[in-house]
Structure 1
Amino acid sequence: MGALKADNKALREKMDKVAGDQETVFAERSAVAVKAYKTSLPCRKEMLEEIKRAWEGLASTLIQGGKITASELWEVDPFSCLAADPTYRDEGFDLTDDLIHQVFDLLDRISEG
């Protein structure tokens, strides 16, 4: 009986050590993932700005050329909430933080393929 208890105790200790090691590995991987994401944010922001400028230029060219109206653009605008915004119609874009995060999420899903 004593040998069985000793074996069980040794097994529990090994399992506790493995569980602790797994937690350490998970914490390290999580920290690396967060650091990588934070490092990529400036690049993502720049990419979003480039997309925004390209869309803004295209929309402006189409509207000024009489090829499409702001209300027609609203129907096909990937940022449809912008076309409904009076600022958009008169001046340009006004992206909200939520929209930026939605676009980042979309870009993430696209890059994951």
Structure 2
Amino acid sequence: MFVLRNWETTGLVGFEQVMPGVYFGSRNSLDEASGLVKKGTLKPQDFRFFIGYAGWQIDQLREEIESDYWYLAACSANLIFGCSQNNATSAGGLWEEILQLMGGHYSDLSRKPKQDI
């Protein structure tokens, strides 16, 4: 999956806006994304790719969130795309930066070795 940044108010056909300026894409929309880069509508740095798989049964994610297996956080397009003050470029760096910005217990979690989390 990937997210892309676009500040145009017209939106992008074939992509789902998940927050202002940020759109979701998947393997099915790679050709469209490639075409937008070739046309100059978007630049390669407007994309952030995430590799892996996540899938849930009906209500499973909601139940996992309620059981504190996941942490919800407000976010911004600038943070997702590495424009924040720490400029987190890796997915791990982004995760750590968001936890630190949340403060308190979450900030402590960001400093723990990965196998302890």
- TM-score > 0.5 by shorter chain: no
Q: Which structure would you say has the larger RCO, counting Cα contacts within 8 Å and 6 or more residues apart? A: 2
Category of TM-score, reference length = shorter chain: under 0.3
Instruction: Give TM-score scaled by structure 2 length.
Output: 0.19
Could you say which structure has the larger radius of gyration?
1
> Which has the larger strand fraction?
2
